[in-house]
């Protein structure tokens, strides 16, 4: 009988974060990215991304995150290493307070979800395929967006903007042809 990890591997899922170090990731700005208690943690530095070294096009992504009050962060999908306008250059899945124009679960510049902050661990599941971005937050579908000008494959990025943010259990499953 396969355990959870074995079942995930059998289903074609790959871990993007090993829980021990930042192998496979690359900082794009001066942020105190570190691994603590099996999570990628950032608390201070210049606004910027920690990006995958790999490039992904059509995929499903799962990531758990924790963002206490005052945090502004995000998960960047189909992103270049440096972004000046997330509304056109990538899909920014925001982690932000309810007062933000694009609260947690929103795609910045594209679709607003009425999420907000919460101090506990939460989970995004995202499907990016042929310009369609679907987002589930803690199992509830919160976004179904179809881009008229789909973005090409690129990196996945974790953003530090403001406040403490933590990410763990980051895994991906490529869709379509192997």
Q: What is the pLDDT of residues 67-92, one digit of tens each?
A: 988 899 999 999 999 899 988 999 99
Q: Provide the CATH number for the domain around residue 149.
A: 2.60.120.560
Question: What is the per-residue DSSP string for 47-94?
Answer: SEEEEESS-BSSEEEEEEEEE-TT-EEEEEEEE-SS-S-HHHHSEEEE
Residue 1, in any domain of the structure: no
Residue 9, in any domain of the structure: no
pTM of the model: 0.91
Distance CA 72, CA 117 (A): 9
Q: Is the pLDDT of residue 177 over 80?
A: no
Helix %, strand %, coil % of the chain (to 5): 5, 50, 45
Residue 149 in tokens: 């000008």
Distance CA 121, CA 98 (A): 17
Greater confidence, 12 or 42?
42
Distance CA 103, CA 116 (A): 5
Residue 125, in any domain of the structure: yes
| Number of structural domains the chain divides into | 1
Q: Tell me the residue range of the domain where 55 lies.
A: 16-174
Question: Looking at residue 3, what is its pLDDT?
Answer: 47
């Amino acid at each position: 009988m396969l355990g959870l990890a074995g079942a995930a591997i059998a289903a074609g899922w790959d871990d993007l974060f090993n829980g021990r170090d930042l192998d496979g990731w690359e900082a794009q700005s001066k942020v105190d990215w570190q691994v603590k208690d099996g999570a990628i943690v950032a608390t201070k530095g210049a606004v910027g991304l920690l990006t995958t070294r790999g490039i992904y096009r059509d995929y499903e992504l799962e990531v758990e995150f924790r963002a206490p009050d005052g945090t502004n962060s995000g998960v960047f999908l189909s992103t270049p290493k440096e972004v000046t306008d997330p509304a056109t250059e990538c899909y920014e899945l925001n982690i932000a307070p309810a007062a933000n124009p694009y609260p947690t679960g929103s795609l910045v510049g594209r679709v607003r979800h009425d999420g907000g902050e919460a101090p506990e661990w939460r989970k995004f599941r995202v499907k990016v395929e042929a310009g369609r971005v679907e987002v589930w937050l803690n199992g509830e579908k919160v976004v179904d967006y179809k881009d008229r000008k789909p973005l090409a494959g690129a990196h996945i990025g974790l953003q530090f903007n403001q406040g403490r943010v933590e990410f763990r259990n980051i895994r991906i499953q490529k869709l379509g042809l192997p």
